[in-house]
Chain A
Amino acid sequence: DQQVKQNSPSLSVQEGRISILNCDYTNSMFDYFLWYKKYPAEGPTFLISISSIKDKNEDGRFTVFLNKSAKHLSLHIVPSQPGDSAVYFCAAPGPNSGGSNYKLTFGKGTLLTVNP
C-alpha cells in the first residue's frame, strides 16, 4: 500500500530548462511534505519542504507546489543544471495513529538527468 507515489521513474531535461517532478499521496492525514535529493552511494539530502497550510514554497531555483484537493505536489527546478542530476524523493511524516509524525514515508523516487 503505497501512500506516497512517484509515478515517473525517470525524467530527462536539457540544461537551462525547467524540471518538474511529481508526487501524489493517498492519505489525507499527511500535512507536511519534504523533498530529498540523493546521489549514488550517498544518503538523501533534504532539499525543500512545504506545510499543508501553504500551496507554494520557494527556495532559490527550487519551488514546491501543493494541491491539497488533488493530493498532489510537484517540485520545479529552474533553470536545471547538470549537477541537479540525482534521484529525487518525495516524503511525508507519518502516518502514525499516535499523532507523532516522526517517521518519514517515502515515494520510490524519480531519477532526474539534466543533459548539458
Chain B
Amino acid sequence: GAVVSQHPSWVICKSGTSVKIECRSLDFQATTMFWYRQFPKQSLMLMATSNEGSKATYEQGVEKDKFLINHASLTLSTLTVTSAHPEDSSFYICSARAPRDSTASPLHFGNGTRLTVT
C-alpha cells in the first residue's frame, strides 16, 4: 500500500533556530500533500496544502513566512519552521493522496514529527 515517510520523528531545537521536516511518499507520486499540526490531547488542525510545483495554500491563521512549505518533487514535501519559539512545540503530521486516488479517498499519513523548542 501507499507509504508516507516523515523525518525526523522527533527534534529538539533552541528558540530562534529553524527546523526542517521532510515528508516523502515512498511508493507513489503525490501531487498534493497536507500538513497538519496536533497539540497534546487535541485533534489535527490542517495547516496547509502543498502542491507539487506551485505555492502552498495555507489555512487561515497559519503564517506562511513562519511555516515554509516546499514541494519540489512528486515524492517530497518539506515544512520548515523558521525562527522557532516554544509555542511552536507540537506534533506535525504530513499526509498524501496518490494521484490515482479520487479526492474522496483516504489519506496516507506519515508517523509525525514531535518538535520541542527550548
Q: Are A and B associated in one complex?
A: no
- A contact set with B: CB distance below 8 Å: none
- B contact set with A: CB distance below 8 Å: none
